[in-house]
Amino acid sequence: MNWHELLQEQINETFNVTERLIKLLDENDLSWKPSETNNWMTTGQLLFHLTQSCGMPIKGFTTGQWAMPAHSDMHDKATEKNLPPAEKLKSVATLDEALALLATDRQTALEAITICSEEDLSTKLAPAPWDPTPVNLGKRLLSMIDHFNQHKAQLFYYLKLQGKPVNTMHLYGK
């Protein structure tokens, strides 16, 4: 298996599962969050973040065009302290909006990897705005899919905490 096949397979599998998880929600679940304390996102905010967490950074790594909020130094601890609290984060207004944004982010990810050669994915070093450590491009892109997977798992636990009838197969099933 080459980098392109691996990345495409991981993107499609993860996005398919995430779409199914979103479809288990009801519109009135969008304002739910696990607790009023500890800076939790609402389900709607989590869905918005989820739909921005894979394709956009993959495009950033492959094109150098970052659609991220301007931060003077993403790996500076002072910047981390100044990140907005959860209640200031964007939210989706509807589940249809979440599904549309998810489809767009998937397409962005898939299109972005097609512009890379196998050699670039294997050998090109790609520092990140939040981590200047040079890491090969393929591994960076795979880590963005992993970032997406982390938020997919977060959504799964939101569903469980809301009492939705989900089990491990909902998180990993095909």
Q: What angle do CA 89, 93, 94 make, to 5 degrees?
A: 135
Domain assignment present for residue 70? The answer is no
At 70 the pLDDT is 44
Has residue 15 been placed in a domain?
yes
Give the Cβ contact number of residue 20 at 10 Å: 14
- Assess if residue 82 is contained within a domain: no
Number of Cβ within 10 Å of residue 13's Cβ equals 14
- Give the pLDDT of residue 14: 96
**Does some domain include residue 77?**
no
81 lies in some domain: no
pLDDT score for 71: 38
Mention every residue, 6+ apart, whose C-beta is less than 8 A from residue 172: 17
Residues 6+ apart with CB under 8 A from 73: 79
User: Which of 35-54 are b and which e, b meaning 16 or more Cβ less than 10 Å from the residue's Cβ?
Assistant: eeeeebbbbbbbbbbbbbbb
Q: What domain range is 13 assigned to?
A: 1-26+51-64+90-174
The pLDDT value recorded for residue 82 is 63
* Residue 36, domain member (yes or no): no
Tally of domains in the chain: 1
What per-residue confidence (pLDDT) applies to 126? Answer: 93
Looking at the domain assignment, is residue 94 inside a domain? Answer: yes
Average pLDDT by stretches of 10, the chain with 174 residues: 95 97 97 90 96 95 78 48 77 98 98 96 94 94 97 97 95 80
Task: Provide the CATH number for the domain around residue 57.
Answer: 1.20.120
Mapped onto helix, strand or coil, the DSSP state of residue 136 is strand
Q: Which of 14, 15, 170 is nearest to 102 (CA)?
A: 15
Q: What is the pTM of this model?
A: 0.89
**DSSP secondary structure string for all residues of 151-172:** HHHHHHHHHHHTT----HHHHH
**What's residue 1's pLDDT?**
79
**Within a domain: 130:** yes
